Chain A
C-alpha cells in the first residue's frame, strides 16, 4: 500500500483522499473469507489433566472425578478429535505460564486446542481454574479462561467439570450449548414397579422421581424443565399425570376418561397426547393445565405417539394405523395437511430433531410372516424423506429421543440382553450404555 500510495500522492490529491476514505470504511469491520471444501475435520483437542493448586488431602479424589468427567464430556460431545493422553508431553501445565506451545502443537500431540487448569481445595471451598488455549496461535492463544468455586464434594466438582466442558463445546461448536448438564428421564422397573426416573446425560446420578406403585410410562419433560408429564394407570384407566419440579410433588391434571397416552410438549408449553375418550385413539391438544381440549385427528385408525417439531412448534408427527400397520405421519398443529413419511413396514416412536430437520424413529422395514425384520432406529430428513439406518444388528431398538444440541440420540435397546438406555451420536456412532440395573425404557432427553 505504501509503495502504491506514494506515486499517487504526487499526481492526484483527490485519489489519495479517496484511498483514505476506502481504508477508513474497510477498517470498520473485519472480513472473513472462507468456504466449503476446505476440510471440516473435528477440532483436535488435548485435555490435559488438571493439577492440584493446593496441598489439601481431598485434592486427589476431587481431581480424579474432575478429570474423568471433563474427559468424558469432551469425548461425548462428538465435535472433537481428542488427542490420546499417551501422546501428551511429560510436563502438563497447570497455569498459562507453564504451557509449552511447541510440545503441544507439533506431533505427536499435534493439538490445535489445549484445555488445562488446576483445582485446589482449601478451607471448605474448592476452586477450579480452567483455560482453553489455541496452541497453534502463540500470539493470542487464550480462547477461554474460567474460574469456579464451590463446596469440595465430588458432586460439586462433577458439575464444575460439566460447566467447563460445556463452555469449551459452546465456543468451539459454533454456539450450540453443550449438553453436559442436561438430564435424561426414563422408566425404570428396578423397584418392581414401572416408575419415572432421572439421570445425568452420562448415566450418573440415577434417581427415582415417582413412587406411585402403579405403571408409569412415557415421561416427557416440559421445555422449561419445571414439569414432567407422563401416563400412568389410575382407577379410571390410563391418564396423563403431571409432576412439578417446583413443588417436588404430583400436581393435578384433568382426567379425560378412556386411554390417555404419550403426552408431548410443544415448545410453547402445550401438550399433545393420544386419547381414546371418543372410542378410537386420536391425537388431542390441551394447554399446560389440561384445559382447552381440542381434537386434532379424526379417523378410525389409531393415532398415537405425537411428537412436536421442536423448532417451529407448528407441526406434529404421530403414528397412525389408518392404513394397517403403524406408519409415521406429520400434520400441522391444527390437524391439517396430514402427510405420510414412511412407506412400508412397521414404524413407531417418532421424535423430531431440535432443528426441525430430521425425524428419528423405530422401524421394522420388513414386517410380517417369513420376514425376520430387525427393529432398528432410522433417521429421516423430513423435507426430502431420505433416510439412513442408525443401528444395525443390535437387538430391538426403540424410543429414540434427541439431545438438546441435536448431536446425540438416546434410545432403548435390548442388545445387552435386557432393555437398557443407550446413547449415541446422531450418525449412529459412539454408542454408549447408560443404565445397567433392572430394565430401563422410554428415555426422554431434557430440552436444555
Chain B
C-alpha cells in the first residue's frame, strides 16, 4: 500500500516536467520537420530530383512517431523509478527472440564445420556434444574399453594401368595390411575419443619393401589419431621385398584407419 501511495506522489511531482518535456519534444520535432521541408525541399528542387526529396521526407516522417508516443514515454519514466511490473515484460520479450536465434546459428555454424554429416542430421544439442569430445570438452565415453570392432565394410581396390597388383599379389597386400595393423598402437589415440572419422594415409613401398613418403591424405580431424597412424608406418622397417616377378619399382598404398573404441 505504501508503494502505491509513493507512486501517486511521484506522479504528482513529475507532471510539470513531463509537460515541459512533451512541449519541448513537439517543438523540436516541429523544428526538424520545418527545417527539412525548407532546406531539403529547396535543395531537392535545386538538384532537380523530386524523388530524392520525397524519400528524405518519408524517413523524417518515420521519426515523427517518436513524439507520437507521449503515452509510452510516461511509462518509461515511471519504470526508471519503480514500475518494475511494466518494464520487465517489455525487455524479456525482445531477449528471448534475439538470443535463441544467434545461439542456434552459432551452434550449427561451428559444429558441422569441423566434423560430420551426422551433425546435420541431428541438430539436437546432445549428439553433437558426444562427437565434440575430441576438442577437449570432455564427456562420457560410452562403450567397452576394447579393441577395434572388425565390422567395417570395405576392401582394397587397385588402380593404374596394370591395376592387377592386388589380384596378382593379394598375399602381399594382406601382409601389408597385417603388418600395419599390428604396428598400430591404439592407446596412442586420445582416450577421450570413442569414435572418429576414417583417416587415410598414403605411402610408397620400394622394391626392397621399405615404406617411404608417408603422408596423411585425409585427416580424421583428430590429431592424435592421425599421428598414431603415421607412427604405425614409421615403426615398420620393411614389408618384405615386392614380389620378384613384379615389374614396377614401387607400389603406392592408400591405407585407412578406422578408430572405434
Known contacts being A32-B253, A137-B170, A173-B175, is A40 close to B181, with CB within 8 Å?
yes
Q: Is the pair B258, A40 in contact by a Cβ cutoff of 8 Å? A: no
Contacts of B88 in A (CB 8 A): none
Complex interface: stretch among B108-116, B117-125, B234-242:
B234-242
Interface residue? B22 (CB, 8 A): no
A48 CA to B192 CA, complexed, in Å = 50
B167 CB–A CB distance under 8 Å: yes
- Interface membership of chain A positions 16-50, coded 1 if the CB is closer than 8 angstroms to chain B and 0 otherwise: 00000001001111111111111110010000000
Question: Which residues of A are found within 8 Å of B162, using beta-carbon distances?
Answer: 27, 30
Give residues 52-72 of B contacting A (CB, 8 Å). none
Whether A32 pairs with B154 at a CB distance below 8 angstroms is: no
Whether a CB of chain B sits under 8 angstroms from the CB of A134 is yes
* Residue in chain A with minimal CB distance to B229: A36
Cα distance A39–B239 in the bound complex, in angstroms: 18
Asked if A175 contacts B240 (CB within 8 A), the reply is yes
Say whether B227 faces chain A, with CB atoms less than 8 Å apart.
no
A340 is an interface residue with CB less than 8 A from chain B? no
CB distance A38 to B161 under 8 Å?
no
Contact of B254 among A26, A32, A112, A170 (CB under 8 A): A32
Q: Which of A27, A35, A137 contacts B161 (CB 8 A)?
A: A27
Tell me whether B252 is interfacial, beta carbon within 8 Å: yes
B164 closest partner in A (C-beta): A30
Q: Mark B82-125, 1 if CB is under 8 A from A, else 0.
A: 00000000000000000000000000000000000000000000
A35, B177: Cα distance in complex, Å: 6
Q: For B46, what are the chain A residues with a Cβ–Cβ distance below 8 Å?
A: none
How far is it, in angstroms, between the C-alpha of A30 and the C-alpha of B243 when the chains are bound?
13
Partner of B253, one of A33, A173, A381, A383: A33
A170→B209 CA distance, assembly (Å): 12
Q: Select the residue from B152, B175, B239 with max chain A CB neighbours within 10 A.
A: B175
Q: Is A448 at the interface (CB under 8 A from chain B)? A: no
| Contact partners of B248 in chain A: CB under 8 A | 29-30
Q: Which 5 A-B pairs have the closest CB atoms?
A: A175-B240, A27-B161, A37-B152, A35-B256, A34-B156
Identify 22 residue pairs between A and B in the complex whose beta-carbon atoms are under 8 Å apart, listed by A's number.
A26-B159, A27-B160, A27-B161, A30-B158, A30-B164, A30-B252, A32-B156, A32-B165, A32-B166, A32-B252, A35-B156, A35-B255, A36-B256, A37-B154, A37-B258, A112-B171, A140-B168, A173-B240, A175-B175, A357-B235, A381-B185, A383-B185
